[in-house]
Amino acid sequence: STLRDELTEEITALDGRTNERFDTLQNDLQAAHEMQEHVMNMMAEDCRGMLERQQERTMQSETAIRAELERETEKLQSDMNQSAEALTASIMLQASTLRDELTEEITALDGRTNERFDTLQNDLQAAHEMQEHVMNMMAEDCRGMLERQQERTMQSETAIRAELERETEKLQSDMNQSAEALTASIMLQASTLRDEL
């Protein structure tokens, strides 16, 4: 009965140490998971912030271009109105002679108007393309950082699992050796008791 109690206490203590070491390794693995998730969330939040600020700057740029386009349009309209008034007065004085000159002047003015509209449209298109290129580059950089972080996390998890397996094997070996030693001790004491009896 005394040997059985001692054996039970020894095995219970060994189980307690085994469970404690398992709990420690499990907590380390959980902490690594939580840290990786926290880092990835922070990186994703930074990426979102950069993209939002870039989008805001692009919208401000587009607004400025549209405002400039409207001002240019109003100015051209005013110029056309003034020119039309002057040409109309001249036509009323010299209708047959100035009709051809008026046609040439309006054609030239339309050409300049179209040219300035084309220039502003090209500037707006270039701004869109540059914004899209910058956002694509930023998204690619974010993807690269996330992929590298994921790879480092997977490597860390692999190392933790390997350590857990080594600890498990060592604990199993310790338990086997303790069980063998206890069994040998019991058999020796049983033999001694048998001889004494």
Tell me the per-residue pLDDT of 99-119, one tens digit each, with 9 for 90 and over: 788 788 888 888 888 888 788
Neighbours of 153 (CB within 10 A): 17
Is 131 within 8 Å of 58 (Cβ atoms)?
yes
Q: What is the pTM of this model?
A: 0.32
Alpha carbons 173 and 25: distance in angstroms, whole number: 18
Strands (E), the chain: none
Those residues whose C-beta lies under 8 Å from the C-beta of residue 84, and which sit 6 or more positions away, are: 106
Is 160 within 8 Å of 29 (Cβ atoms)?
yes
User: Where is pLDDT greater, at 142 or 26?
Assistant: 26
User: Where is pLDDT greater, at 194 or 148?
Assistant: 148
Tokens representing residue 64 in the block: 């400025």
Average predicted confidence (pLDDT) for the chain: 86
Alpha carbons 19 and 49: distance in angstroms, whole number: 45
User: Where is pLDDT greater, at 124 or 27?
Assistant: 27
Using H for helix, E for strand and C for coil, what is the string for 1-36? CHHHHHHHHHHHHHHHHHHHHHHHHHHHHHHHHHHH
The predicted model gives 117-128 an average pLDDT of 86
Tell me the per-residue pLDDT of 51-67, one tens digit each, with 9 for 90 and over: 999 999 999 988 998 99
Q: How much is the pLDDT for 98?
A: 61
Residue 182 identity:
L
Residue 94 φ then ψ, to 5°: -135, 65
Alpha carbons 180 and 166: distance in angstroms, whole number: 21
